[in-house]
Amino acid sequence: MKKIVAGLILLLAVFATQAQLIYTQEHLETLSQEDLNVYLDRAVQLQKSGRTLNIVGASILGGTVLTIAGVALTATDDWALGAVVIAFFGGLAGFGTLAVGIPMNLTGKNRVNRINALQATSFNRLELDLKPCAQYNLISRSYQPGLSVKIRF
């Protein structure tokens, strides 16, 4: 049983590592603006999903606390088992939702910041190279000095 659990954790770690490779700085620098916009849309969607799960998890926990407080105010033995069940499943659902939502929100936020920083500096990538060269003139049958202009953007 321990080997199966360890194998599943290792498999999940491999998938999580491979998923993070496309958002590395080296990989993002090689992409075009259109591809960066696609990755930015995905990162924003991940961040929004994380925020939504955080709101839902906090609402579930708040509702659980209010329900338990309401049952405690009535203080009847008939509702005691129900309060324990509500507390257990409500807390489990709330904390589970927050446990998924918080990492999603933070990961999406980091990816959005990384892509935005790269896009902010991408407009500074206009490079102009002036290099001396020699052009062959067919009429005079000699080389004439000149400049070659190379523009990269």
Tens of pLDDT along 46-73?
999 999 999 999 999 998 888 888 777 7
Q: Tell whether the model's pLDDT for residue 105 goes beyond 90.
A: yes
On whether residue 25 sits in a domain, the answer given is no
The Cα–Cα gap between 23 and 20 comes to 6
CA 68 to chain centre: 36
pTM for this one?
0.64
> What are the residues whose beta carbons fall under 8 Å from the beta carbon of 71, sequence distance 6 or more?
79, 80, 82, 83, 86
On whether residue 20 sits in a domain, the answer given is no
Q: Tens digits of per-residue pLDDT, 1-53?
A: 778 878 877 777 666 665 666 777 777 888 888 888 898 999 999 999 999 99
Q: Tens digits of per-residue pLDDT, 77-104?
A: 666 777 778 888 988 999 999 999 999 9
On whether residue 77 sits in a domain, the answer given is yes
On whether residue 46 sits in a domain, the answer given is yes
On whether residue 17 sits in a domain, the answer given is no
- The domain total for the chain is 1
The Cα–Cα gap between 103 and 47 comes to 9
133 forms bridges with which residues in the sheet?
Answer: 146
Strand, helix or coil for residue 147: strand
On whether residue 14 sits in a domain, the answer given is no
On whether residue 50 sits in a domain, the answer given is yes
Residue range(s) defining the domain that contains residue 37: 31-125
